[in-house]
Amino acid sequence: ETGVTQSPTHLIKTRGQQVTLRCSSQSGHNTVSWYQQALGQGPQFIFQYYREEENGRGNFPPRFSGLQFPNYSSELNVNALELDDSALYLCASTPLGPGRTEAFFGQGTRLTVV
Amino acid sequence: GESVGLHLPTLSVQEGDNSIINCAYSNSASDYFIWYKQESGKGPQFIIDIRSNMDKRQGQRVTVLLNKTVKHLSLQIAATQPGDSAVYFCADKRGYGGSQGNLIFGKGTKLSVKP
């Protein structure tokens, strides 16, 4: 167990709708990142939050947004859902400390857009 | 663009044999290279990492080799077990200031262990 939990585990939405995915990481993990993993592909970096502010973003449009809260939880919001947004969404948190590289991933939320 | 990629999409080995999974990278500025294991229905699990100024690092039953000359990374698994069956990703880590940086993943290699 990584101590990172995501909810819900599965979700079906209609094209054009909005969705909020949630992540709860371990105490002391000050950085949370979100990744999108399409079927048969490696995870793609969406963005990262550090001390409750966005600190790095991948090649994703502004309709992908997020929040990080003081209690180590985080949200990923996606507006105007498209069919191509169907994927596994992974949350990863990283512990404090210099040179710490291991990111602890949750089990993911499987989003299906129909 | 910059990417991390894998040589082979699938690898099948006999239980007890050693496995070698290869990875090529293009970004020479990466700080760390990391291997992840992803089992079906789960998120990626950290296996081992290696700093860019190292050539080799060993863990429990795993060894990572880094060849910066040819920009190649490999993961060796000794005495492969059925529980090692999974998709393996290499990733490189690129830092942002005081944060922990983000990971750039390759497509993955599916390892199947035959009993």
The beta strands (E) that lie in chain A are given as 5-7, 10-13, 19-24, 31-37, 44-50, 53-57, 64-68, 73-78, 87-94, 104-105, 109-113
Q: What is the pLDDT of residues B46-88, one digit of tens each?
A: 999 999 999 999 999 999 999 999 999 999 999 999 999 999 9
CA of B113 to nearest chain A CA: how many angstroms apart? Answer: 19
* Percent of chain A clearing pLDDT 90 (strictly above): 68
The pLDDT-based confidence of A99 (bands split at 50, 70, 90) is low
pLDDT in tens, A48-66: 998 889 988 999 999 999 9
Task: Look at A102 and B105 and tell me if their CB atoms are within 8 Å.
Answer: no
* Chain B residues touching residue A56 (CB < 8 angstroms): 96, 99, 101-102
pLDDT at residue A96 greater than cutoff 70? no
- Give the model's pLDDT for residue B8: 52
Per-residue confidence band for B29, with pLDDT thresholds at 50, 70 and 90: confident
Mutate to test the interface with A, among B30, B99, B109 (most CBs of A within 10 A): B99
Chain B residues with CB inside 8 Å of A103's CB?
Answer: 46, 100, 103
CB of B97 within 8 Å of any CB in chain A?
yes
